[in-house]
Amino acid sequence: MKDIFFILPRKDFAIERARNFLKEKGYPQVPMPVKKHLKEYSTLYKYEDDEEEGFCVKETTGEYKVYVNTNIMEGRNTWTYAHELAHIVLGHHDDFPYNDLDDETLELLDQEVDIFVSEYLMPQYAFENYFFLKGRSAYLDSPHIGALKSFFNVSWEAMIFRLHNLGYQDKSISEYYISTYNERKQTFSRYTGFSYT
């Protein structure tokens, strides 16, 4: 195993790779065409299993084969495809001896992948486009976060985290709005006899 001269995860490296990738692709509109992008770099195979969501193999010919578990929930597909794409674009299969890595290193490489995926699936330019078209509210309540989540086709957790990282709204505030939303909605309609959806 060759020496590793840097500390994982390489946050700036992962962000820069994701931004360059988006630039190369001409800044695609969201939801990101992840499957299309992945197919440009690899051949997709489907399999059924109860554990792993997917994995990627680099053949000695240099060809990438990505195996995607069809048992996983539909909504997770995007993230799984993006995860495998990130491993390829970040050069993990080229720079690391995948079969010899310990769990800790694999975990750190997956953290690098998460940084890439967040940047790739939820690029800042797409938020700016969204706010430009839909207007930017003073604060992002549960329905706003839900709309953004659908727009980008990601999970609640991923969206809350991304909003925090981009400085749009603190993570704890988003969590507060989401956890109290139903209660606040009921209180509001009880006082006014009016319900908003």
CB of 14 to Zn ion, least distance (A): 13
**Which runs of consecutive H residues, i.e. helices, occur in 42-155?**
77-89, 92-95, 103-121, 124-134, 142-152
Task: Provide, rounded to whole angstroms, the least separation between the CB of residue 54 and Zn ion.
Answer: 8
Smaller CB separation from Zn ion, 110 or 175:
110
Task: Tell me the closest approach of the beta carbon of residue 87 to Zn ion, in angstroms.
Answer: 6
Q: How far is the CB of 56 from Zn ion (least distance, A)?
A: 8
The least CB distance from residue 159 to Zn ion, in Å, is: 21
Q: What are phi and psi of 131, to 5 degrees?
A: -65, -35
- Nearest one of 89, 73, 74, 115 to 37, comparing CA atoms: 89
Cβ proximity of 23 and 15 under 8 Å: no
> Could you tell me if 122 and 162 are in contact, meaning their C-beta atoms sit under 8 angstroms apart?
yes
Binding-site size for Zn ion (CB under 5 A) equals 1
- Toward Zn ion, which CB reaches closer, 110 or 141? 110
| Min CB(137)–Zn ion separation in Å | 36
Q: Which residue has the CB atom at the shortest distance from Zn ion?
A: 110
Polymer length in residues for the chain? 197
Is 98 one of the binding residues for Zn ion (CB under 5 A)?
Answer: no
Q: Which is nearer to Zn ion, 22 or 117 (CB)?
A: 117
Distance of alpha carbon 17 from alpha carbon 9, whole angstroms: 13
For 186, the enclosing helix (H) or strand (E) is: helix 171-192
With contacts defined by CB under 5 A, name the span among 70-78, 95-103, 110-118, 189-197 that binds Zn ion. Answer: 110-118
Determine the angle formed by the axes of helices 11-24 and 103-121, rounding to 10 degrees.
40
**Region from 37-45, 90-98, 106-114, 142-150 binding Zn ion, contact rule CB under 5 A:** 106-114
C-beta neighbour count of 163 within 10 angstroms: 21
Stretch that binds Zn ion, among 12-20, 109-117, 153-161, 178-186 (CB under 5 A): 109-117
Q: Taking CB under 5 A as the rule, does residue 175 contact Zn ion?
A: no
110 binds Zn ion (CB under 5 A): yes
**Residues binding Zn ion (CB under 5 A):** 110
